[in-house]
A and B are shown apart, each in its own frame.
Chain A
Amino acid sequence: MIALADCNNFYVSCERVFEPKLNGHPVVVLSNNDGCIIARSNEAKALGIKMGQPVFQCRQILDEYNIHIFSTNFILYGDFSNRIMSILSSSAPEIEIYSIDEAFLNLNGIPNKKKFALDLRDKILQWTGIPLSIGVATTKVLSKIANTIAKDQSENNICILENPSDIKEHLKEFSISKIWGIGSQLTQKMNARGINNGYQLTQKSDLWIQKQMGITGLRLVKELRGEACLQLNNTWQRKKSITTSRTFAQGIDNIRDLSKALTTYANICATKLRKENSCAKSIYIILGIENSIHKHEIRKIINLNTPTNDSLEIISNCKEALRTVYNSKYTYKKAGVILSDIVPQSKVQLTVFDKTDDIKKRQKLMQAIDTMNNKYGRLKVRFAVNGYSPRWHPRQERLSPCYTTRISDLIRLKG
């Protein structure tokens, strides 16, 4: 049996741990730059606020109901995620971390699944203050469905989907658009063929499914029928690409500030790359332009001869690329860097023109910078080109303190 553990309204729940007076009150969390709603408490959902809705669209409801608004605090959410994942992995024989707030657990060998799920839920709520829902079933796809059902049960947020007739009843009620792995296009296609719920999908022949949905679709339908096809994936996978991009609070109309922003993102990407002991062979820079007439994105690719994770090299390439595409006519609203063609650092082939001694020296420099930043705080040591100007920093007006990672931000107890 497989369980899917998924935190309830995760970002909101993290904020509430340190602001318990917000329990029972509507709360939302905004995206980077405070643009859109990315998390809602149940009370905010009940008021009709939609996921992904731009703030200006729901300004009136936010004000009228005095909804509490937070800017996104990924430092805090990341710390809670680590705590929860570490509790999950010490509780279950095997886990696959699926996202910041979800994990699949292998429950083989656990005799009483219901008791296990209830105890685990209670333990995580007590230890961290974060509520979660657990769905248990024979396959990953069914455990996702069980979790959705569990979320709607206000009583204990646990759903064990085991009995075949139960599964059938639930699948009949379950719209295919809500099934894990079925997107909006496939939903439309299936609806046009008269298939609206999960049960109808399980009744089609393998041949028909494969023809309509391909081999991954067939696997998905087999999982819906209760035949396990997807294994828990607990091996760590190297990222295929690494992206850092931001929308600016105010548009930037000069190359100096734009370059500061872009090189900062380049440095963040390179740091992530080093953390994974990887190197990248391609760099993309992205610039977003928006004015009254049009809105579009400019991309420029740089292919390197030798894959690298050296911040200085990545930064200077981004600067160079920016110079070739920059146009002083425009105001820039967004900038970003993507590193791709990622290979393990140990597999990098040097060319005859690479100077091994220089590369080794630079690797040492990068290591020293990473060590200092790990110790003294993110981006404390950075490059002069990154600048110090806060002008292009994303807007984060409602940021909560980093209660768990900064000594100055600890909660204060009235004694």
Chain B
Amino acid sequence: MHLKSSKPYLPKIMAGFPSPAEDFTELSISLDSTLVKNPPATFMAYAEGESMIGMGIHHGDIVIVDRSLTPCDGDIIVAVLEGEFLIKQFSKTKTHIKLIPHNSKYPIIYINEDANFQVWGIVVHSIRSYR
């Protein structure tokens, strides 16, 4: 997932009148540089299950995870809890940490002090394909 520079589209030289747009070429839009701000710290993953539907993250969506960011209250995160990868909303108050699902069928996970818990990265984008 390394940044590839996109080349501007330069037409072959025309024999007649030169293109008036030639002096105004810009690089094409690159999804890489739009979605990946910090390439060495960015990873991708698949979201599975239904617990984040309320946040618009569905089963099979690709999420882009930036490990260089510090988790803030309300961020969607990739968590590792007892060795298992989870995607949930992060909630941190003075007294405790919670992992909040966005589907009423799923319970809120309270993180105990002695839990084997780690914030693996921050979800910065999700991508869903429609066809």
Chain A interface residues toward B at CB < 8 A = 19-21, 82-84, 86-87, 123, 126-129, 403-404, 407, 410-415
| Residue in chain B with minimal CB distance to A80 | B40
Q: A412-B48, A415-B50, A415-B88 are in contact. Are A128 and B40 (CB under 8 A)?
A: yes
- Most chain B CB within 10 A, of A19, A126, A413, is at A413
Q: A127-B67, A404-B1 are in contact. Are A413 and B40 (CB under 8 A)?
A: no
Inter-subunit contact B44/A410 (CB<8 Å): yes
Cβ-defined partner of B120 (8 Å) among A20, A84, A407: A20
- CB contacts (< 8 Å) of B36 on chain A: these are none
Q: A413-B87, A414-B84, A414-B85 are in contact. Are A127 and B41 (CB under 8 A)?
A: yes
Inter-subunit contact A415/B48 (CB<8 Å): yes
Query: With contacts defined as CB atoms under 8 Å apart, how many contacts are there between chain A and chain B in the complex?
Result: 77
For the complex of A and B, the 8 pairs showing the least CB-CB separation, nearest first, are A21-B83, A127-B41, A83-B40, A413-B87, A415-B49, A415-B52, A20-B80, A415-B51
Known: A123-B68, A403-B43, A415-B50. 9 other contacts (CB 8 A): A20-B85, A21-B82, A83-B39, A84-B40, A126-B68, A127-B68, A413-B86, A413-B87, A414-B48
Inter-subunit contact A413/B67 (CB<8 Å): no
Chain B interface residues toward A at CB < 8 A = 1-2, 38-41, 43-52, 57, 59, 62-63, 67-68, 78, 80, 82-88, 101, 118, 120
- Most chain A CB within 10 A, of B43, B49, B59, is at B43
Inter-subunit contact A412/B85 (CB<8 Å): yes
- CB contacts (< 8 Å) of A126 on chain B: these are 41, 67-68
A129 to B87, CA, bound (A): 18
A317 to B23, CA, bound (A): 51
Smallest CB–CB gap between B34 and chain A, Å? 18
Inter-subunit contact B118/A20 (CB<8 Å): yes
Inter-subunit contact B67/A129 (CB<8 Å): yes
Q: A410-B44, A412-B45 are in contact. Are A82 and B2 (CB under 8 A)?
A: yes
Inter-subunit contact B62/A86 (CB<8 Å): no
A414 to B67, CA, bound (A): 18
A16 to B63, CA, bound (A): 20
Inter-subunit contact A404/B57 (CB<8 Å): no
Cβ-defined partner of A412 (8 Å) among B39, B46, B83: B46
A51 to B122, CA, bound (A): 37
Smallest CB–CB gap between B18 and chain A, Å? 30
- CB contacts (< 8 Å) of B57 on chain A: these are 415
